[in-house]
Amino acid sequence: MKAILPGFLSSNGIDACVINAENSAHGLGCNEKICAELKALGADAITLGNHSFSSFDFWGKIDKLDYVVKPSNVSDNWPGKDIVIVEKNGQKLAVINILGQINMFPSPNDPFKACDELIKKANDMGAKAVLVDFHSETTSEKCALGYHLAGRASVVVGTHTHVQTSDSRILDGGTGYITDAGMTGSVDSVLGMEIETSLKRLRDKIPARYEPAVGPAMINGVIADIDIDGKCTNFRRFTEYE
């Protein structure tokens, strides 16, 4: 991120940068220090996922970070913000983070209803542009939410499965959509983790502690153009190599 992100944002004329930082803390969860580092590199908003509080001390820190949005459909007991508003060039972008309900722990509430409520709240806050990070296990649920929000969200970006999908497109009503934006991590890895460790666990059925892989890395993501009415007019995926 340090090697690539600042120059990438500048050369592509990016107005607002949203980063999913789940598992940035040595492969599991997130923490306050990493959030501050990502913000210094250019992040305007940070989203999370099912491992939001795997670094437990983050539980007591997230309320102080007004640019970090939590998955909002898990529990009212979770600290953190349900919506982050990014203001740039006189425009407001609302950032929402939602968990999928299939094969996900902790078990979330209905993501479709949660999005309906949060998008209305974002619009009431003056944000016509809305980005939804849908942290979901299954491609079917991600696709379904994309169509459910078509014309109401500016962008629906799937995360969690680490592998960038090739279905980036603009849905009817002006909603940019991709099933998974991909990951930031080592190119030669298994979802960012050491290859040999994954082989021991998956091939040999031997317990082994996961460690992040080390080596030349890549950043995966998407770039969206959003007009003043909150409609996505251009949407493309990218991969930048270290």
Q: What is the CA radius of gyration of the chain?
A: 17
Tell me whether the omega of the peptide bond preceding residue 106 falls within 30 degrees of 0, making it cis.
yes
Instruction: Report the C-alpha gap between 136 and 134 in whole angstroms.
Output: 6
Beta bridge partners of 171: 175
51 is catalytic: yes
Marked catalytic residue, from 51, 135, 148, 160: 51
State the Cα–Cα distance between residues 209 and 143, nearest whole angstrom: 33
The answer to whether the CB of 174 falls within 8 A of the CB of 231 is: yes
CA distances in angstroms from 212 to 21, 62, 220, listed in the order given: 14, 24, 17
> Structure tokens of 136?
């979901």
Nearest to 66, CA basis, from 37, 35, 24: 35
CA distances from 69 to 46, 80, 137, 147 (A): 6, 6, 19, 23
Active site residues: 51
